[in-house]
Structure formats: C-alpha cells, structure tokens
Amino acid sequence: MDIKKIENGVKLILQGLSTDVELGQEVMENTPKRVARMYAEIFGGLKEQPEELLEVFKEEHEEMVLIKDIPLYSMCEHHLLPFYGLAHVAYIPSEQKVTGLSKLARVVDSYCKRPQIQERLTRQIADTIMKVLTPQGVLVVIEAEHMCMTMRGIKKPGSKTVTSAVRGIFRTNPATRAEAFSLIKNSSNY
C-alpha cells in the first residue's frame, strides 16, 4: 500500500472541506498520517489470500460444524463508511476434511478487511470454504448495520441487512438448511 498517497488524499479531503490543516492545529495536523495508517490496517485483507488461511486436516466427522456470532467490521465500497455485525458460518465436512474453528473466523476477517459490499462478502466466504474444504455443503449468513444507511441518506439507525449464501447440501436439502437456520436463530445458554 502507498501510505504517502493515502495521506495526501486525506489531506486533500480535509482541504476540500475547508479544514485548514496547515495552520498548525495540533489535533488536525497529524490526521492525514493517522488515517493513512488506519486505512492500511483496516484494508490489510487486500494483501491476504483467504484460501491460505484454511488449514485442512483429517477427522472422522461428517456432521454440521457451525460457528455463529462471529463479529465483523468492514467498509462499504460505495461510501467508505463502516458496516458491522455478525457472521454465521456452517459447513458439513466430507472426505474427513475439517479445519480449525478459528480458521473460519479468519476467512471472515480477511474478506472484511477490504472495500466490500455485504452480498459479495457473503458469497466470497462460502465459495472459499467450498473450494478449499470441498465439504458436503456450506451456509453463510451475515447480519449487519450499514453506517451509510445510519449516518446519511435514509438515516435509519438500527436497520439490519441480512444476506445468505448456501452451497451443496444446504441448498438441495431443506431439512439440513432448516436445521442450520434453527441453530443460528436459537441462542444457547451454557
């Protein structure tokens, strides 16, 4: 990433807003540098290959694996405003191919760390898991609040967008899909 270019761009935005960054306002003076470093961090997924995050190992398990309530934060590519929420990822292994639980959350995180739209994000997570693990099926559900709907435009705080991607047995078997959605919906108190 070209940090200096990002810094100059932020400076131009501030100048365009008639914010005088040159007058030695201590607080604003370093804002372009801080924002450039922040962008490098929150868009770090652009340098990653999410497929490489899924470590595959053998285990005799061919029942559903579900990680739910994975916190996510991303930036809407249309307005460069955040959206945040939860991801739920389920898969049913085949050929004894499973992955570490944290690896699924890492795939979510990696795709979130790039300019995104929620629909693509949901699809990318599901497709990556299908490609690497070749499971019987994958189901990904994302529920998120978009600051572009909260802060600007329609100004509807609290509204959530829900997207899903279903692959394999989750698409072809209504009972399997219903079981996954039921597990996602129901909270468990340990």
- List, for residues 119-154, the tens digit of each pLDDT value: 999 999 999 999 999 999 999 999 999 999 999 999
8 Å CB contact between 138 and 131: no
Q: Are residues 59 and 35 in the same domain?
A: no
Q: Are residues 96 and 160 in the same domain?
A: yes
Q: Are residues 63 and 19 in the same domain?
A: no
Annotated active-site residue in 7, 88, 124, 146: 146
> Number of folded domains in the chain?
2
Asked about 112 being catalytic, the answer comes back as no
- Over the chain, what is the mean pLDDT? 94
Annotated active-site residue in 51, 52, 77, 95: 77
Which pLDDT score is estimated for 15?
87
Q: Is residue 21 part of a domain?
A: yes
Burial of 108 (C-beta count, 10 Å sphere; 0-12/13-18/19+) = buried
Q: Which residue in the block uniquely carries the two structure tokens 């996510």? A: 72
Q: Are residues 33 and 61 in the same domain?
A: no
8 Å CB contact between 139 and 180: yes
Q: Is residue 49 part of a domain?
A: no
Structural domain for 137, as ranges: 55-185
Q: Are residues 27 and 98 in the same domain?
A: no
Q: Are residues 83 and 165 in the same domain?
A: yes
The reported pTM is: 0.93
Alpha helices in the chain (DSSP H): 3-16, 26-29, 31-42, 101-112, 118-133, 147-150, 169-172, 174-185
Asked about 78 being catalytic, the answer comes back as yes
Annotated active-site residue in 78, 95, 96, 119: 78
Q: Are residues 67 and 33 in the same domain?
A: no
Q: Are residues 29 and 60 in the same domain?
A: no
